[in-house]
Structure 1
Amino acid sequence: MTGPTPAAVRRERILLEAVRQGLLDPERSLLAGFVDLDGVDATVASLHRAFPGSVPVLHAFAAKANSLVPVLAALERGGMGCEVATAGELARALAAGFPPERIVFDSPAKTRGELERALDLGVAVNADNFQELARIDRLLAGRRPVSRIGVRVNSQVGGGAIASMSTATSTSKFGVPLSDPGIRRQLLQAFRDHPWLTWIHTHAGSQGCPLDLMARGVALAVEFAEEVDAALGERRIVGIDIGGGLPVNFADDAIDPTFDGYVARLRAHAPALFERGYRVVTEFGRSVLAKNGFMAAYVEYTKSAGGRPIAVTHAGVQVAARTVFAPEAWPLRIEAHHGNGLAKRGRLVRQDVAGPACFSGDLLARDRALPLLEPGDLVVVPDSGAYYFSTPFHYNSLPEPAVHGVRTDGAGGVEFTLLRPAQDPWELPDQDGLTVREPVGVPSREAC
């Protein structure tokens, strides 16, 4: 039998210290997320190394994967840019310290006000459709833009294993469909009409999409860039934004696929991307953060139904909405730990791991073989640094958990930094329509 992986040993080390410091506590801190900032640094470094040094590349982190401002700030310090898809994400990117020229604004529904703000700041803009191009032209009113401006094309190369994550199908809502009748001619005319249009953007999808499909989508975008240059008789297209979407392995701790592997497929399918002097932008998100984060939650109760044990925990749909609503597409691993943080060993028992929400489908895992969980144990959910605890779902008014950044040293020390404080469930947030200064049900100081 093989022993625990280095990543599992590291999680256990962090967990032990988190319990010791009271960041996890069965009465006061029932659930928490952890971001391994050392791991983030290493992943960002591997991304930079994967692309040839001769090509000017901006790696723009997809903010939707983890929009916590301290996390974005750490990525900015690591030399990354930021890809945003809403005004809220743009505000967070600016607050994290990203200079506007290292921010890319993608959205299929940009308002006039959002576009005006982005263009005034000098944020790069990828237009999604012909109407948006016309709107940008009116906003520029003949001015030369400070922003670099591109248009998103849908290569229509097909979908992957998860339909909702596939954005290059024949009927995708994103971008201008390259293969639809008359569209290429219309696109070429748009480039003739708008001299400020100098970039091509494409993105085939993410989780569930094979690397070859993604690389073929990039190849078609590069081919169209060459078609634009040929039609205009000049070098108009200066850069290609190839999107992100590198899938993540949720089955174990192995990093597969890798950025190196994806670049190899790009070289095979789209060599001109690296050979024609294009500037390149990437928009990786999940592949940067997922494996550099985990969450841990206490088991509150255990029971049995129909002969199957059930552990009721404090992690459920509020921090794992995709897994709860689409478990076949988004399975997560579960690790069983004692309440002090030590990993549980022993006989495996098939059991359900349930969350706290008030509906029967709130399950992190069904019929999963684990050491038998007991009240007071901890369940650890690896690979959840992107989209999970950083993007909570407020079902049942469940509170947002605290998120801690983690760094370690060679001597065994573990240092935590609070990235987001836990919500107090007894204090109603401002967005609920009123501000409560005292916890509900607690006498005021005046009454004491």
Structure 2
Amino acid sequence: MASEQARTRRRARDAALASAVGQGLLGPESPLIGLLDVDSVLHAVESLHSAFRDAFQDASPAAAGPAADGPAADAAPALEPAPVQHTFAAKACALVPVLRLLAEAGMGCEVASAGELEQALAAGFTPDRLVFDSPAKTLPELEFALRNGVAINLDNFQELARVDRLLEGAATGSPAGPVGIRVNPQVGGGSIGAMSTATDTSKFGVALRDPGAEEAVAAAFAGRPWLNRLHAHVGSQGCPLPLIAEGVRAAYELAERINAGLGRRQITGLDIGGGLPVDFESEEDRPGYAAYVAALRAAAPGLFDGRYHLVTEFGRSLVAKSGTIASLVEYTKSAGGRSIAVTHAGAQVATRTVFMPAAWPLRVGVFDASGRPKTGPARTTDIAGPACFAGDLAATARELPPIDPGDVVALYDTGAYYFSTHYTYNSLPRPAVYGYRTTPSGEVRFALIREPQTVRSLLDDSGLAQAKSLVALSAGRP
């Protein structure tokens, strides 16, 4: 039986699809749009906060065992539970209005590039609510973060050396915000290799099980009193909760050992990443944040006793279920006994699904030309996109109601990455994206999140202003 949240989300989505068609947001002039359920996003945010609040309220410092903070720990007063800074991984939906909504809902923001950093600042996040995680930070990016109080997780010892040089030349000699080291606990991968960041050969962080790595990390903290965080992120989609919890436990236990060796609580923060998987096969929010927290508490009970400030970096799990890509069906045909619906939703929006269909399957809904759910005897159908290659298929061999030109095909669970991370194959333009809310009476209200990309914008991006440059170069003219 579906949960109440799943039923509510489905009702709102169906109403939004019908209203989008009725209001002309989806039609011949705009045959592809993205839709984001605002109430569903806010529900996910509250679920995340609630799960961690409950964990801290239930935890007791005494239950965590003796502190590993050195001789002075026995005399220290009991600590209140440390706050948790929940940050949204901007890459999951790098649209400024979405980031602004999350900022207003109490989230911080994790950024992994200069572009995401600027988007987060434009959305209203103050520097102290940002975490900068790029594995390829430039000197100017590091300098900005150190000067403005943006938290940084350093990926490697060469980057650490860069920070040393920058701080030597700074007036204060210390960073304005938290600085941590990212470690790779090397606990293994999940079912999607590209999404697994804690394998033996992952490109991220300091590989803890490599010879001498843990000692080098400990020495880095010993020589730099301003280093105060550890960061670990095991992966995302395809990574089971026990694997994620094992990676977090490795970081927690390393922090305990380093603090004990130093005789002081130098590491005060643990950035435990994100990575909660999404169930793309159903409407449900599974496994859910409560299950995630339960796995962490089983693996590392002391994580919630208040001695460490926790940072999370969830992305996909906060917005995926809230998003839908809707496309008009342009043509229908058959080949080899297979029905084919040719739509405008292909590799340009569903890039991961098209190129890795087994890892990223999407549920499909079929609606008639008025936007109402369609019924009828099921046919084995492929949902094809508009890109000019044979593999541009958003779904294959699905049992779906009969589909006709002018119908609407909906790709569910696409709030993360799909309409915010565009692939410009065939110069296909970015679609408009709308947020929506439904009133108790069933009325749907829309707000534009991103305008559709114009043909002129496509031309500008393709070098229109430099149209004559190569001709001039080949003719030897300046």
For Structure 1 versus Structure 2, the TM-score category normalised by the shorter chain is: over 0.9
* Structure 2 partner of 1:379: 409
Q: Which stretch of structure 1 is more off in the superposition, 72-81 or 6-15?
A: 6-15
* Structure 2 partner of 1:439: none
* Structure 2 partner of 1:222: 252
Q: CA deviation at 1:50?
A: 0.5
Q: Please show how residues 362-401 of structure 1 align to structure 2 within 5 Å.
A: 362-401=392-431
Q: Distance in 2 between matches of 1:427 and 1:88?
A: 19
Q: Distance in 1 between matches of 2:101 and 2:19?
A: 22
* TM-score in terms of structure 1 length: 0.95
* Structure 2 partner of 1:80: 107
Contact 1:428–1:435 under 8 Å retained in 2: no
Letter in 2 for 1:203: H
Q: CA deviation at 1:411?
A: 1.7
Q: 2:358 aligns with which of 297, 305, 328?
A: 328
Q: CA deviation at 1:379?
A: 0.2
* Structure 2 partner of 1:360: 390
Q: Please show how residues 20-99 of structure 1 align to structure 2 within 5 Å.
A: 20-25=22-27, 27-52=28-53, 53=56, 54-99=81-126
Q: Distance in 2 between matches of 1:245 and 1:164?
A: 13
Percent of residue pairs identical:
57
* Structure 1 partner of 2:76: none
Q: Which stretch of structure 1 is more off in the superposition, 406-415 or 47-56?
A: 47-56
Alignment pair present for 1:120 and 2:122: no
Q: CA deviation at 1:372?
A: 1.3
Q: 1:173 aligns with which of 203, 212, 215?
A: 203
Q: Distance in 1 between matches of 2:85 and 2:344?
A: 39
Q: Please show how residues 295-314 of structure 1 align to structure 2 within 5 Å.
A: 295-314=325-344
Contact 1:398–1:425 under 8 Å retained in 2: no
Q: Distance in 2 between matches of 1:427 and 1:332?
A: 30
Q: CA deviation at 1:119?
A: 1.4
Q: Which stretch of structure 1 is more off in the superposition, 201-210 or 225-234?
A: 225-234
Unaligned runs of at least 5 residues, structure 2: 57-80, 467-478
Q: CA deviation at 1:276?
A: 4.8
SS of alignment partner, residue 389 of structure 1: coil
* Structure 1 partner of 2:12: 10
Contact 2:12–2:438 under 8 Å retained in 1: no
- Residues 83-127 of structure 1 deviation map (CA, whole Å, 9 limit, x = unaligned): 000000000000000010000000111111111111122100000
Which structure exhibits the higher relative contact order, with contacts defined as CA atoms closer than 8 Å and separated by 6 or more residues? 2
- Residues 245-271 of structure 1 deviation map (CA, whole Å, 9 limit, x = unaligned): 000000010110000000000000011
Contact 2:13–2:37 under 8 Å retained in 1: no
* TM-score in terms of structure 2 length: 0.89
* Structure 2 partner of 1:152: 182
Letter in 2 for 1:278: Y
Contact 2:432–2:451 under 8 Å retained in 1: yes
- Residues 324-351 of structure 1 deviation map (CA, whole Å, 9 limit, x = unaligned): 0000000001101001110001111001
Q: Distance in 2 between matches of 1:305 and 1:34?
A: 31
Alignment pair present for 1:264 and 2:291: no
SS of alignment partner, residue 25 of structure 2: coil
Root-mean-square deviation (CA, aligned residues, Å) is 1.6
Q: Distance in 2 between matches of 1:427 and 1:271?
A: 53
Q: Please show how residues 436-447 of structure 1 align to structure 2 within 5 Å.
A: none
* Structure 1 partner of 2:61: none
Letter in 2 for 1:9: R
Contact 2:33–2:432 under 8 Å retained in 1: yes
SS of alignment partner, residue 447 of structure 2: strand
Q: Distance in 1 between matches of 2:240 and 2:118?
A: 33
SS of alignment partner, residue 382 of structure 2: strand
Q: Please show how residues 93-242 of structure 1 align to structure 2 within 5 Å.
A: 93-141=120-168, 143-242=173-272
- Residues 360-385 of structure 1 deviation map (CA, whole Å, 9 limit, x = unaligned): 00001111100011100000111000
- Residues 278-314 of structure 1 deviation map (CA, whole Å, 9 limit, x = unaligned): 0000000000000011110001001111111111000
* Structure 2 partner of 1:446: none
Q: Distance in 2 between matches of 1:364 and 1:419?
A: 24
Q: Distance in 2 between matches of 1:110 and 1:433?
A: 28
Q: How many residues align?
A: 435
Q: CA deviation at 1:48?
A: 0.5
- Residues 221-240 of structure 1 deviation map (CA, whole Å, 9 limit, x = unaligned): 00000111111111111010
Q: CA deviation at 1:432?
A: 2.1
More helix by share: 2
Q: Distance in 1 between matches of 2:270 and 2:400?
A: 46
Letter in 1 for 2:26: L
Q: Distance in 1 between matches of 2:380 and 2:84?
A: 47
Contact 1:428–1:434 under 8 Å retained in 2: no
- Residues 20-41 of structure 1 deviation map (CA, whole Å, 9 limit, x = unaligned): 111001x201000011111111
